């Protein structure tokens, strides 16, 4: 080997080692699971997308002593959490609560027992460790609607600064945009984009749609997906706000700790009971308790603590401290997959992921299919073009660079044989047709007084027929994409969506698609609204605009459950914003 070759080899090895080290976990903040004190100034229940933010920001005040509870473990207990493309494999693991809904009558007709699967993060970082990492804020019209309905301080101009505070944009075209910022904890990048995503954008342009920044002035149009990925690994709140922060002796984190009840004395929250290592413990709170368990866990904990609908709690023998509509207003984006095989080997499939070369490229250089979430394109569209620029869009299309695989959708076997791709070498894509502002509203109730007994989740999908019509409109827009040259060049067609379960109807007729919608639609995993925010005199509100539980002092809720109406698009980024905003309110004495 020549001296030049040896030098080049040494440099390459150094670069590879340096890159690998830069992508490893570097917890600097705290010693996890240290011996807890008897009391704290602030207790945050739930270390997820919002809770990690709240705890980290409060602990920036050195005088505050903060305790963060997380029911799950550390994010490094599952290496797949770090790898963007592996997000689907995280479902039905110990980092997932693995919820299922109650049987549905108007939807889930093709799912086992008519039940939908509701994955939720049970790990430090919560669902920001399980999701597909799409960075989406929602429409400005969403937040202005909140404010108009009595949620003072939550208009778009008022929440916008908190989106900027949390963001670290690494997309070259957006670094100078007034709608983005650098320096925040959560990275926003395009990841390692795939060639196939270009076809989605070209198809949109063929139909006359603009290419846009859906986190900019207006969502309308087609875009490459902005992702929470940093240095080819997931950028989650657990890592960025807790594990990657500077050391703080005033922040304690208790993992694998299930909070079972909030201690309420004379209309004030004064402490919490929790189970850890099979034993029951109690810790006192001097100032405030912030519940950030998420749309399922937060209402469950409140109701177990005597905050909720009086009739429901009385029926279970739970003393009522505040009669509030906890658990109601459950909202979620419905989703229907349209799939197609293609004639070019430019998608992700099991054979691609099994490639030793692709594994090496990711491990040493952070590139290739493992560095992407395979969620590459997004479009926000109006069914009525006269409403563009005047209100939020009706439909979100999400473009996945793979075909449906796996068993996480809970589809009945005889239908799954037609829906799920079995050929590991087959290439293709999937378009998810999603509602943005569903009209159907569900509810979460207690199954029992046992905190380990999962609550009843009834999303009530498609109980309002308007949602079916909206998804049908999204399907019709998607059909237009399949007629573009960009898609035809790939050999794309809709024939793979011809299912025997709806064969009583003519393929692609309204009746056929409506059958498919009610048979195969699933959750988009964007559950929200069960501890609704509103004015204090609003009978549908659980928390006021400062996120204080109405009628109970020293208690707030901060997560997606407080959304009065679900945002237009993926809900993880709005949830992070909620965490940033409530921390500021607390620090400012509001």
pTM of the model: 0.95
In which band, very low, low, confident or very high, does the pLDDT at 24 lie, cut at 50, 70 and 90? low
Q: CA–CA separation, 458 vs 328, rounded Å?
A: 10
Determine the 3-state secondary structure of 364 from DSSP: helix
- What burial class does residue 107 get, using C-beta atoms within 10 Å of its C-beta: 0-12 exposed, 13-18 middle, 19+ buried? buried
Residue pLDDT, tens place only, 329-371? 999 999 999 999 999 999 999 999 999 999 999 999 999 999 9
Q: Give me the mean pLDDT over the 69-73 stretch.
A: 98
Q: Which H helix or E strand runs over 118?
A: strand 117-118
**Dist CA 273 CA 258 (whole Å):** 9
Range with the lowest mean pLDDT among 34-38, 128-132, 357-361? 34-38
Confidence of residue 21 (pLDDT cuts 50, 70, 90): very low
- Terminal CA-CA length for the chain: 69
With tokens 């208690």, the residue in question is 555
Please compute, for residue 406, the number of CA atoms within 13 A of its CA located in the half-sphere on the CB side: 14
Whether residue 215 contacts residue 166, with contact meaning beta carbons closer than 8 Å, is answered with no
CA distances from 431 to 376, 377, 508, 578 (A): 10, 9, 16, 29
The overall average pLDDT reported for the chain is 94
Quick one: how far is CA 572 from the chain centroid?
4
- Containing 57, the helix (H) or strand (E) segment is helix 51-58
User: Looking at residue 2, what is its pLDDT?
Assistant: 55
- Residue 174: the pLDDT is 97
What is the mean predicted confidence (pLDDT) over 146-157? 98
Residue 526 annotated in active site: yes
- Length of the chain measured in residues: 590
- The reported pLDDT for the residue numbered 367 is 93
Selected catalytic residue, list 180, 220, 382, 526: 526
Q: Which CATH superfamily is domain 79-112+185-237+331-523 in?
A: Glucose Oxidase, domain 3 (3.30.560.10)
pLDDT of 374: 92
Whole-Å CA distances, 473 to 182, 461, 468, 513:
38, 17, 9, 10
Q: Which two tokens stand for residue 70?
A: 């997380």
pLDDT > 80? residue 119: yes
Locate the domains of the chain by residue range: 79-112+185-237+331-523
Taking 60 as the threshold, does the pLDDT of residue 3 lie above it? no
Q: Mean of the pLDDT values across residues 70-78? A: 97
């Amino acid at each position: 080997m020549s001296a030049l070759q040896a030098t080049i080899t040494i440099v390459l090895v150094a670069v590879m080692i340096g890159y690998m080290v830069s992508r490893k976990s570097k917890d600097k903040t705290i010693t996890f699971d240290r011996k807890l004190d008897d009391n704290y100034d602030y207790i945050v229940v739930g270390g997820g997308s919002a809770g990690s933010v709240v705890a980290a920001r409060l602990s920036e005040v050195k005088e505050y002593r903060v305790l963060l509870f997380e029911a799950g473990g550390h994010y490094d207990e599952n290496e797949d959490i770090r790898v963007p493309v592996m997000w689907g494999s995280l479902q039905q693991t110990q980092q997932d609560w693995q919820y299922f809904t109650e049987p549905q009558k108007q939807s889930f007709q093709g799912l086992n027992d008519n039940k939908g699967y509701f994955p939720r993060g049970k790990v430090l970082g919560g669902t920001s460790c399980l999701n597909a990492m799409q960075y989406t804020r929602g429409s400005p019209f969403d937040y202005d609607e909140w404010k108009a309905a009595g949620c003072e301080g939550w208009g778009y101009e008022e929440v916008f600064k908190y989106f900027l505070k949390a963001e670290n944009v690494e997309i070259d075209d957006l670094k100078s945009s007034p709608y983005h910022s650098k320096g925040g904890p959560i990275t926003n990048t395009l990841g390692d984009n795939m060639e196939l995503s270009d076809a989605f954008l070209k198809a949109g342009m063929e139909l006359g749609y603009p290419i846009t920044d859906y986190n900019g002035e207006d969502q309308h149009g087609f875009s490459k997906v902005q992702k929470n990925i940093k240095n080819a690994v997931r950028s989650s709140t657990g890592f960025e706000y807790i594990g990657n922060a500077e050391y703080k002796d005033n922040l304690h984190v208790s993992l694998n700790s299930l909070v079972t009840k909030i201690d309420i004395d004379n209309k004030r929250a004064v402490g919490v009971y929790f189970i850890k290592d099979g034993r029951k413990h109690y810790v006192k709170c001097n100032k405030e308790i912030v519940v950030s368990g998420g749309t399922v866990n937060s209402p469950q904990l409140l109701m177990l603590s005597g905050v909720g609908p009086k009739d429901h709690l009385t029926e279970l023998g739970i003393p009522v401290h505040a009669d509030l509509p906890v658990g109601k207003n459950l909202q979620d984006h419905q989703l229907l997959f349209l799939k197609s095989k293609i004639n070019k080997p430019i998608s992700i499939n099991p054979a691609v992921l099994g490639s030793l070369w692709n594994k090496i490229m990711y491990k040493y250089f952070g590139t290739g299919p493992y560095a992407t979430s395979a969620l590459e394109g997004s479009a926000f569209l109006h069914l009525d073009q006269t409403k563009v620029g005047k209100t939020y869009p009706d439909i979100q299309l999400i473009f996945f660079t793979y075909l449906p695989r796996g068993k996480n959708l809970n589809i009945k076997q005889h239908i799954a044989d037609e829906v799920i791709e079995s050929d590991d070498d087959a290439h293709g894509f999937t378009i998810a047709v999603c509602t943005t502002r569903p009209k159907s509203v569900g509810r979460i109730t207690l199954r029992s007084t046992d905190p380990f007994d999962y609550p009843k989740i009834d999303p009530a999908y498609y109980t309002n027929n308007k949602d079916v019509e909206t998804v049908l409109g999204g399907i019709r827009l998607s059909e237009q994409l399949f007629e573009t040259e960009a898609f035809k060049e790939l050999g794309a067609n809709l024939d793979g969506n011809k299912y025997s379960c709806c064969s009583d109807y003519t393929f692609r007729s309204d009746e056929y698609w409506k059958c498919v919608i009610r048979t195969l639609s699933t959750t988009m995993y964007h559950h929200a609204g069960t501890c609704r925010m509103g004015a204090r005199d609003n009978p549908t509100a659980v928390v006021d605009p400062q996120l204080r539980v109405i009628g109970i002092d020293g208690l707030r809720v901060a997560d997606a459950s407080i959304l009065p109406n679900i945002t237009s698009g993926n809900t993880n980024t709005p949830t992070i914003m909620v965490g940033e905003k409530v921390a500021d309110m607390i620090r400012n004495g509001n």
